[in-house]
Structure 1
Amino acid sequence: MTGSTAGAADVLELLRGRGETVATAESLTAGLLAVVLTDVPGASAVVRGGLIVYATDLKSDLAGVDPALLAAGGAVQPKVAEQLAAGARERCGATWGVGLTGVAGPDPQDGAAPGTVHLGFAGATGTTVLSTRLDGDRAAVRTAAVRVALEHFATILR
């Protein structure tokens, strides 16, 4: 995860320079983004915490995702990533929230093919979502989701 660690260091430095913090709400990655962020020395000055919301009901119970949204379309949709990010930001008292949802495979979920990933980024001025399709097995999809999230977050912060 060397590339992800470098991406994490970049994001943490950008946040530190802005005097801002981050929290995560992770479904697809089950805490992997938080692990990569906190592998960087000095992360405690910027990382507030995170929510592992692997089970669908926890997306609502812990991160505040609208239960009606989950019931209507399942956990793998852009609006869920948006609400995960907002929930992480609010519940952890961070400047930024990052939410990750998707399908690592090998089977489809909620009508979405393996490799479908939605990444939400919530800040003071609103929330954005990046949807993408990633290739590979479960581990490759999860690792790539973290890398893409870090790259996109760094772009937002710049």
Structure 2
Amino acid sequence: MGGVNDPGAIVARLKEAGATVATAESLTGGRVAARITDVPGASAVFVGGIVSYATAVKISVLGVPADLVADHGVVSAECAKAMAEGVRALLGTTYGVSTTGVAGPDTQEGKPVGTVFVGVASPSGTQVVALQLDGDRGEIQVSTVSETLSALAGIMEAEERSPAGREPEHPGLG
């Protein structure tokens, strides 16, 4: 029996819903995508991911507005939101998830190590979870992956309960 951050349960739920997911990762360096694709059958729901470690990639590939970065920085809720929405649009998925933050060892943009933002873009909008995590670089990255999967699972569950959150079905596709 899997918990809310169990990638197997998330893949099963996505399959059942006929939904797809893509990732836009910075501080996690592809670890969210790796956790999802560790699950046999993930190819039915995982479309792809962008590791946007450099700010320029966030802007040029994911479409994060340069003025947003100038105003709020890349370690911000605003950037996490734009990254999640950007990867969802770029790869045409039901859900887009993003991670951005400071894994350490040094502060970034004046923000302390452990400052992390997770974004989840879905048919009903985008939510961002702000985290302040403890630990070394690796521990912060691992915790961020778990928190990202939990956020995705929570939003999927909320949308399953709300008919307004569902995308219209497309007969004949699939």
TM bin (shorter chain)? over 0.9
Runs of 4+ in 1 over 3 A off after TM superposition: none
Amino acid in structure 1 at the alignment position of 2:135: G
Amino acid in structure 1 at the alignment position of 2:151: H
After TM superposition, give the deviation of residue 72 of structure 1 in Å: 2.2
Judge conservation of contact 1:89–1:97 (CA < 8 Å) in 2.
yes
Amino acid in structure 1 at the alignment position of 2:94: T
Counterparts of 1:86 and 1:78, CA distance in 2:
12
Structure 1: which 5+ runs fail to align? none
Aligned residues: 155
Name the SS of the counterpart of 1:155 in structure 2.
helix
**Paired position in structure 2 for 1:47:** 46
Superposition pairs of residues 12-27 of structure 1, within 5 angstroms: 12-27=11-26
Counterparts of 1:65 and 1:89, CA distance in 2:
12
Larger mean CA deviation between 42-51 and 67-76 belongs to: 67-76
**Paired position in structure 2 for 1:96:** 95
TM-score norm. by structure 2 comes to: 0.86
RMSD of equivalent CA atoms: 1.3
- Larger Cα-atom Rg: 2
Judge conservation of contact 2:20–2:45 (CA < 8 Å) in 1.
yes
**Paired position in structure 2 for 1:62:** 61
Over the matched positions of the two proteins, sequence identity in percent amounts to 45
Superposition pairs of residues 8-157 of structure 1, within 5 angstroms: 8-157=7-156
Name the SS of the counterpart of 1:44 in structure 2.
helix
TM-score norm. by structure 1 comes to: 0.94
Larger mean CA deviation between 45-54 and 70-79 belongs to: 70-79
Relative contact order, CA 8 A, sep 6+: which one is greater? 1
Judge conservation of contact 2:120–2:151 (CA < 8 Å) in 1.
no
Counterparts of 1:54 and 1:137, CA distance in 2:
19
Judge conservation of contact 1:73–1:110 (CA < 8 Å) in 2.
no
